[in-house]
Chain A
């Protein structure tokens, strides 16, 4: 009852007061009391409340989330990282956003065999629950091309579904074709919505594990409609599937610069020493930098600058402390103290580094 009330108030506030004003009010009135009464707003962290859980298929659910004021606005095709606490330990996984609404976003989670987070979410996610999430991230976003082909397999449909909806919502409507491959009829995610959308664009729902006569796949479909290869392609699915599509496109001499892919790599911060080419995520700017050869041996500040990110800084020698940031994930060498790191005199030292 109280939970339900809190949820309604949060929803009302985000809609009517707006994120910016909530941030102003909450950050300036942060104290022991307010933090206890409304920890959803009176917090320094990105969080989301679950608004609704609905079943898509026998093993897939869609979770509608209400992010708090700290979470950046999402773009179709991006993903968020969701953290859950299981037996006292925090686990995080990335999920593509399947819907983006004015105040809410949704992720569609397919239960994976042995998957810790997906199974936990499938069993426990319920309205009112509050979860730590990340900013929406990723570059798998629509880049304004006139003719687009979306290719997905399995739960790879999620970002493509968000992209499809975005492309059909703009004026003029984008000329888009969707090829979504699933195993069997009961695995088809967004079946109804895809049927609905089929009136405004070409949609191929392909089933790959059915009796031989009905079997279809993206590649057989492309063989039948080679003209589709003239479009810009957005591709998302399991690694093996994506590799096979890339191989096929290479054989067909498709210009791979016109191919956008979404891949999740789950390697956690592996310490590989000072000379590694790290991926550095600057949370405050919500920007990820992939280091190149030229970045080797540079400080975090210099790397950020080389990639067009303006970090606050002063003396550049580790003396004034202006550049101090929080090290959220990964390892750095050089000037570091507790959870604080001095980008002007510190170097990335793990394959992934997250700077707060």
Chain B
């Protein structure tokens, strides 16, 4: 830690540093114990849960698609919520969590192993895992290292150089970015966003994390991967089902438009869920993860939860338990509500920040406030707080 701590409470630095280290080790052990408890308990319960989710997703899909196809005119809209439930569950509670490898240890469900799984979302899995699991989850809220912190041309902290584009970030994202949220993931994960910034911004990618191309893909390969991941969704939503409806005499456009509506709702839902859980929280020091014992503290400090029931949580992919998700990204998500109780207890015991919004609305409200403030060059953080690890008494 820094020079300002040379003397603290009159104690020589070494003694103080030792005490801090000892306390951090204790905290690490406490969080680790929760993980080991749930790892030891992995089994049938998790298999049942993920299979049940898939079953419900299929039922919603069958009901939704039939309703949209068969019912006349505006009545077809009755099917939209069902297709939405199907696509939402597949995209986040199943897709996101499975790709974290949460079910990799269970031989009973090879279809839910991260390396086998194909997402029912327009996102290339391998690139997403690299960006999300291996980068965002490791360098959470670290400036210029966390690619999710400033995706696209987003500016959510004062360190990102301001450009004219940023004046319009709120309306632009609300009208165009968030309705197509999932379709933008590939741009982020495969380096197209970097190209955009390099071209449009005077300082290029300064302030943004860039794509490192760990798979050494060529431009053609990138283009192909994007096309393949998007077309598997479009082929189903905008070709297969509308054509099926057309040939059976129920009409093409009704199904096409309902599916487009679901796509819009699903993207918006997911965007507002994931945008409201990190940006308002402190940026983490560069070396946050250099010391293994800091992992839990840094992850805890960079995430914020919002309240919801167990059923609602499923529709948010349990991302309202963002803290627990970031502490234990590869423990099955349905365990987060239970884990939360233990995590809160540790936070109380060691006086650590456990941040919780009362509702989704409140979380979105706070995010929008921050989003608006940083549209402007001299925008100030509405909820300023130093990173826990940077505080002298940490």
Tell me whether B289 is interfacial, beta carbon within 8 Å. yes
B97-120 interface bits toward A, Cβ cutoff 8 Å, 1 = contact, 0 = none? 000110011110011011110100
Residues of chain B within 8 A (CB-CB) of A315 are 134, 137-138, 289, 295
Residues of chain B within 8 A (CB-CB) of A339 are 104-107
Residues of chain A within 8 A (CB-CB) of B100 are 321
Range, interface on chain B: 20 to 34
Tell me whether B342 is interfacial, beta carbon within 8 Å. no
Residues of chain A within 8 A (CB-CB) of B137 are 314-315, 320, 322
Selected from A313, A326, A337, the residue in CB contact (under 8 A) with B134 is A313
Tell me whether A115 is interfacial, beta carbon within 8 Å. no
Closest CB-CB distance, B114 to chain A, in whole Å?
7
Tell me whether B130 is interfacial, beta carbon within 8 Å. yes
Selected from B42, B104, B106, B118, the residue in CB contact (under 8 A) with A27 is B118
Residues of chain A within 8 A (CB-CB) of B133 are 314, 320-322
Tell me whether A116 is interfacial, beta carbon within 8 Å. no
Given known contacts A314-B138, A315-B138, A338-B106, A24 and B228 CB-to-CB distance under 8 angstroms? yes
Given known contacts A319-B295, A320-B329, A339-B107, A30 and B134 CB-to-CB distance under 8 angstroms? no
Given known contacts A317-B292, A320-B329, A321-B101, A337 and B39 CB-to-CB distance under 8 angstroms? yes
Tell me whether B200 is interfacial, beta carbon within 8 Å. no
- The distance in angstroms between the C-alpha atoms of A325 and B111, with both chains bound, is 15
- The distance in angstroms between the C-alpha atoms of A313 and B137, with both chains bound, is 12
Tell me whether A28 is interfacial, beta carbon within 8 Å. yes
- The distance in angstroms between the C-alpha atoms of A317 and B114, with both chains bound, is 19
B16-56 interface bits toward A, Cβ cutoff 8 Å, 1 = contact, 0 = none? 00000000000000000000000100100000000000000
Closest A residue to B43 by CB, please name it: A338
Task: Enumerate A278-317 residues with CB–CB distance to B below 8 Å.
Answer: 284, 310, 312-315, 317
Tell me whether A128 is interfacial, beta carbon within 8 Å. no
Closest CB-CB distance, A333 to chain B, in whole Å?
16
Given known contacts A314-B138, A317-B295, A284 and B101 CB-to-CB distance under 8 angstroms? no
- The distance in angstroms between the C-alpha atoms of A266 and B218, with both chains bound, is 41
A336-352 interface bits toward B, Cβ cutoff 8 Å, 1 = contact, 0 = none? 01111000000000000
- The distance in angstroms between the C-alpha atoms of A28 and B120, with both chains bound, is 8
Tell me whether A324 is interfacial, beta carbon within 8 Å. yes
Residues of chain B within 8 A (CB-CB) of A334 are none
Quick check: B214 and A310 within 8 Å, CB to CB? yes
Selected from B106, B134, B292, B330, the residue in CB contact (under 8 A) with A312 is B134
Quick check: A337 and B295 within 8 Å, CB to CB? no
Given known contacts A44-B110, A321-B330, A356 and B115 CB-to-CB distance under 8 angstroms? yes
Selected from A30, A312, A326, the residue in CB contact (under 8 A) with B104 is A326
- The distance in angstroms between the C-alpha atoms of A319 and B39, with both chains bound, is 13
Selected from B39, B106, B111, B330, the residue in CB contact (under 8 A) with A324 is B330
Quick check: B289 and A324 within 8 Å, CB to CB? no
- The distance in angstroms between the C-alpha atoms of A340 and B42, with both chains bound, is 12
Q: List 8 A-B contacts (CB under 8 A).
A: A44-B116, A284-B115, A313-B134, A321-B101, A324-B114, A326-B113, A337-B42, A339-B107
Q: Which residues of A does B touch, CB under 8 Å?
A: 24, 27-28, 30, 44, 284, 310, 312-315, 317, 319-322, 324-326, 337-340, 356
Give 9 A-B pairs besides A317-B292, A340-B105, A356-B115 with Cβ atoms closer than 8 angstroms: A312-B129, A312-B130, A312-B214, A314-B138, A315-B295, A324-B104, A324-B330, A326-B104, A340-B101
Q: Which residues of B does A touch, CB under 8 Å?
A: 39, 42, 100-101, 104-107, 110-111, 113-116, 118, 129-130, 133-135, 137-138, 214, 228, 232, 289, 292, 295, 329-330
